[in-house]
Chain A
């Protein structure tokens, strides 16, 4: 028992380090990527390729005064950024990076990740509500309706996967997909399951993870041309920094979950040398797509976003759930 506890504590520390490092360097990657897309250099002064920029930004954020506006609800105002960051980091504990590298494997791993992911919406709500800023309140209302709308198709798609693999254990889900890319859940040629709609399910899940992490084109919560900075308008210093890191940690979680559920986790596409490198390659490719989409598309509207979820994604994912159930019964 005590060994398990020690394991978890070590895993949490590693997860924090991993999340913080990812958050810092994904900001760098995003800025360099955006700069490449926009034909400008991006951060390139501090260190080789500007690689010292993230730690310096961190120092700058921490050195700034933590300003709390007079009228805010102080407790909630301070809790909100922590709530944005902590669940995202905790989710890392259950994510299997390879067959050996996992903080603590649980039989209900997938449920745990979703439970922590939905706490992120709570953070946005609290931040907006406690800020006493009209823009922030509008933003948090948007964020909550968005979170509700996109968690449903995401969960339905996850249930489809659980039905196919027959387990809620993240490691088990990956193990069910081993042996080359034709065994992955995204492709329909798997033995015993010929479901042509799995690619659609993958797209649904990918769109939902974009929306869930408040990324463009679904960044309605911080739509700066209308709502200034949305829910974090009143935050400065490390309060803002935590929201920022939480966002990037959530991106990594979203990409990891997509990889585990659809792209075979650490499995090699050709059945050779399975290992953590394949997992990392897959999640960073997905993250690069996130960045690419953000700097290409304009923002959707809030009604367009809700219509997309309730009128297209939820019926489509439900249909696929029923189809999969039927196919599993037949074969």
Chain B
């Protein structure tokens, strides 16, 4: 497919994709200037689901703000909560029992698999294949059931507390997680057979929407988007936190830079998350899940930052404290915000079909962009 010959360069039309459109998976609006089926210019318009989480962070006390983090990204909520509790624990100097950290790592990785599974299904549906979504949701359901038993909710978990956890895991959870690992590996083989090897699927993604490492750095994209362009960056390895240094796992990096590479990265990440869960279950120590005696959270004036690797990329949370009950400023750096903004520049000259497949490969969760 070569670039179109523009017979009348002035004859373009504007196409509003969204805020209610099947491809945007939420209330994202893309204002496209089209030349037939080719995109001349595109502008993403965000803010339709802005809920002022950052402002709420300044108004609420630290424990009150806990549940807000799980409302940012409804598909991978635990990763965001993890970043928040790690930051407060670092700032207030709270010791976390080792068992709690292991359980956090296990649940975050389970949640990451659930998020990637949903993305996988939705992405193939963007390409017009319906059935993989149902298969992926079935596997995801298993994870949700497991997490529901220990966290009490299925989507917007508020499981982590400053210093530990709300609830300890029981033997049922551990048994279910052990059963889940071989089951998921079998499913992955099926997905690779059904989707990855499909000729139409390959043709639609190979070489489409190449993102050079330069453009990734320019926009600060992270996560699978960066790793699909050959940038080996994962917060779990580069700035280790929690108990991740204890685990033996790889960071999948692909150098093709196209939509297929981003797909491959996420599929490989599911396998790596399974490895982490496996090791976490083996190493899971006994002991308490909360510190012995609770003390009120008091954060000394200063500037604190914590980054974590969520399902979508590097999530950063910055806290400026003046020593009061509430933060002076709370800044949330959401990964999808950066990942999305390279769409405007990269989709120029693309066909609308390829552009929307490309948008699917970015794994956008709109409430997390608008927060």
Contacts and interface: CB of A to CB of B under 8 A. Distances in A.
Contact of A134 (B15, B21, B23, B356): B15
Contact of B129 (A135, A141, A299): A299
A134 B16 CA distance: 9
Contacts of A295: 130-131
A223 B353 contact: yes
A17 interface: no
Please classify the interface of chain A as helix (H, G, I), strand (E, B), loop, or mixed, using the class held by over half of its residues: loop
Contact of B128 (A39, A134, A138, A299): A299
Contact of A34 (B126, B130, B194, B356): B130
A303 B351 CA distance: 10
A184 B131 CA distance: 35
Interface stretch (A1-9, A107-115, A224-232): A224-232
A301 B203 CA distance: 9
Given A134-B15, A225-B356, A226-B353, A298 B22 contact: no
B353 A298 contact: no
Contact of A302 (B23, B134, B135, B353): B353
Contacts of B194: 296
Given A138-B37, A224-B22, A298 B351 contact: no
Interface in A198-251: 216-217, 219, 223-226, 228
B235 interface: no
A299 B124 CA distance: 9
Interface residues of A, number: 27
B198 interface: yes
Contacts, number: 76
A37 B37 contact: no
Contacts of B201: 298
Interface residues of B, number: 31
Nearest to B124: A298
Contacts of B7: none
A300 interface: yes
B134 A40 contact: yes
A38 interface: yes
Residue in B23, B130, B194, B204 whose Cβ sees the most chain A Cβ within 10 Å: B130
Nearest to A40: B134
Contact of A297 (B21, B200, B352, B354): B200
B356 A302 contact: no
Contact of A225 (B1, B22, B200): B22
A198 B270 CA distance: 45
B184 interface: no
A271 interface: no
A225 B352 contact: no
Interface of B: 1, 13, 15, 21-23, 36-37, 124-131, 134-135, 138, 194-195, 198, 200-201, 203-204, 351-354, 356
Given A34-B130, A39-B138, A299-B129, 18 more contacts: A38-B130, A38-B134, A39-B135, A134-B15, A135-B15, A223-B353, A226-B23, A296-B131, A296-B194, A297-B129, A297-B198, A298-B128, A299-B204, A300-B200, A300-B204, A301-B204, A301-B354, A303-B351
A-B interface, 8 closest residue pairs, ranked by CB to CB distance from nearest: A299-B128, A298-B129, A38-B134, A298-B127, A298-B128, A225-B126, A225-B23, A38-B131
